[in-house]
Amino acid sequence: MGALLVVALIVVPLAEIWTIIQVAHVIGGWPTIVLLFAESLLGAWLVRREGRRAWQAFRSARSSSTGRRRGRSATPRWSCSAGRCCSRRAS
């Protein structure tokens, strides 16, 4: 497990930096920076899109499994119950 952690935290980033440097030698520095920036924008867009899909799937599964309407929360009910219990103990 320790060797895998070393590979994940040290070797992989070093390989990425080496690859970026090699690409910069082939296509130039500025095009490499533009390529990295474009790749970052694409990655951010994908993370947002897939995160939104995952959240929607989670909410859909949650609402269908509980049998309640979407957007309705049980929080006010249990917080009121907890408040009643605390007020009874204080008096």
**Which residue, chain included where needed, has tokens 């119950």?**
81
Whether 64 is covered by a domain: the verdict is: no
Range of the domain at 11: 1-59
**Residue 90, domain member (yes or no):** no
Is residue 47 a part of any domain in this protein? Answer: yes
Residue stretches of the chain with pLDDT short of 70: 65-91
pLDDT computed for residue 41 by the predictor? 97
Indicate whether 20 belongs to any domain.
yes
70: in domain:
no
User: Which pTM does this prediction carry?
Assistant: 0.56
Is residue 71 left, alpha or beta, with left meaning phi > 0 and alpha meaning psi from -120 to 50? left
Q: Give the number of domains in the chain.
A: 1
| Structural domain includes residue 44 | yes
- Report yes or no on 77 lying in a domain: no
